[in-house]
Amino acid sequence: MPRRLDWAAAVMAAAFCLSPLGPAAAQDARRGAPLVEERGCVACHGPSGVSAVPLMPSLAGQQADYITLQMILFREGLRQVPAMAEPARGLTDRNIEDIAAYFAALPSAPKPDRGAPDAALIARGAELSAARNCQACHLPDYSGRANVPRINHQREDFLLHSMAEYRDNLRVGADTQMNGLMHGISNADLRAIAHYLAHRP
Ligand code: HEC
Ligand code: HEC
């Protein structure tokens, strides 16, 4: 009888890992919530993870693996952002995964304050994004996947800032793919791409 229970437990554990709910077993948004509260993340990243502050990225609906990886980079001082040093300090990997699950589960939506669309700029941005194959990694709707971030529903100023940082080698991620992709691109082209992405549905 105990054997059968072990077997049943193993099957249930395996099913849980394979189900869409699987990650919740390892990463738990409910455990993340008090950590987010304690560390004041929303003071900068916005209540419900939607940022209302220039240059502060929104985190609502961001990919959990991406948030986890970036938090580890901040904690280890590999992505150097003074504002993020204190919030990331001393968190365990488990803490970080729980925080990531918390923000990933918040609904992502187009920003209410994204400003009026400029049709010409959007068309230029769409053309540049197609030519550079952004959707191959960020997915056709730009919602991202695993450690490739969601780049729709993001603040336009932050998108512009992060792309310029990759280009100028001020930001190096877990790999250098984005640095290579942004190499030599003009500010005008970056503005068009940021405007296009920020106005995606
Ligand atoms: C004092 C303001 C502040 C606080 C508090 C803060 N952050 Fe940040 N965070 C920032 C800034 C500024 C950036 C953008 C850095 C840059 O320019 O690349 C950032 C970036 C990030 C990113 C990377 C997002 C991306 O799209 O690349 C993540 C993830 C993140 N913060 C998570 C958190 C979490 C989780 C907490 C709480 C534990 C937190 N932050 C608290 C200011 C803050
Ligand atoms: C080969 C895959 C790949 C392609 C193609 C690609 N990206 Fe990325 N992108 C990534 C990865 C991986 C990251 C995260 C890198 C890191 O850790 O900093 C990223 C990060 C970003 C970020 C930072 C978002 C944030 O929240 O900080 C922006 C903006 C971005 N990409 C825009 C683009 C645009 C625009 C294009 C097309 C011109 C593009 N990417 C093409 C893989 C790709």
Residue 145 DSSP class: B
What is the average pLDDT value for the chain, to the nearest integer? 89
Structural domain for 187, as ranges: 119-198
Question: Could you tell me the two tokens for 201?
Answer: 């549905």
Q: Kindly state whether residues 133 and 93 are assigned to the same domain.
A: no
Q: Which CATH number does the domain housing residue 132 bear?
A: 1.10.760.10
46: alpha, beta or left? (left if phi > 0; alpha if psi -120 to 50): left
Q: Is 185 in the pocket of ligand 1 (CB under 6 A)?
A: no
- Residue 7 placed within a domain: no
Q: Domain ends where: 105, 133, 167?
A: 105
Is 164 part of any domain? yes
The two most distant CA atoms of the chain are separated, in Å, by 70
Answer whether 141's CB lies under 8 Å from 44's CB: no
Tally of domains in the chain: 2
* Closest listed ligand to the CA of 89: 1
CB within 8 Å of 166: residues ≥ 6 apart: 172, 173, 178, 179, 181, 182
Closest of 134, 135, 189, 150 to residue 59, by C-alpha:
150
- How close is the Cα of 57 to the center of ligand 1, in Å? 7
Residue with tokens 């304690």: 38
pLDDT tens digits for range 87-104: 999 999 999 999 999 999
pLDDT, tens digit (0-9, with 9 covering 90-100), for 138-161: 999 999 999 999 999 999 999 999
Q: Are residues 125 and 192 located together in one domain of the fold?
A: yes
- For residues 87 and 148, membership in a common domain is answered with no
Residue 36 is assigned to a structural domain of this protein = yes
Closest Cα to atom 7, ligand 1: which residue? 84
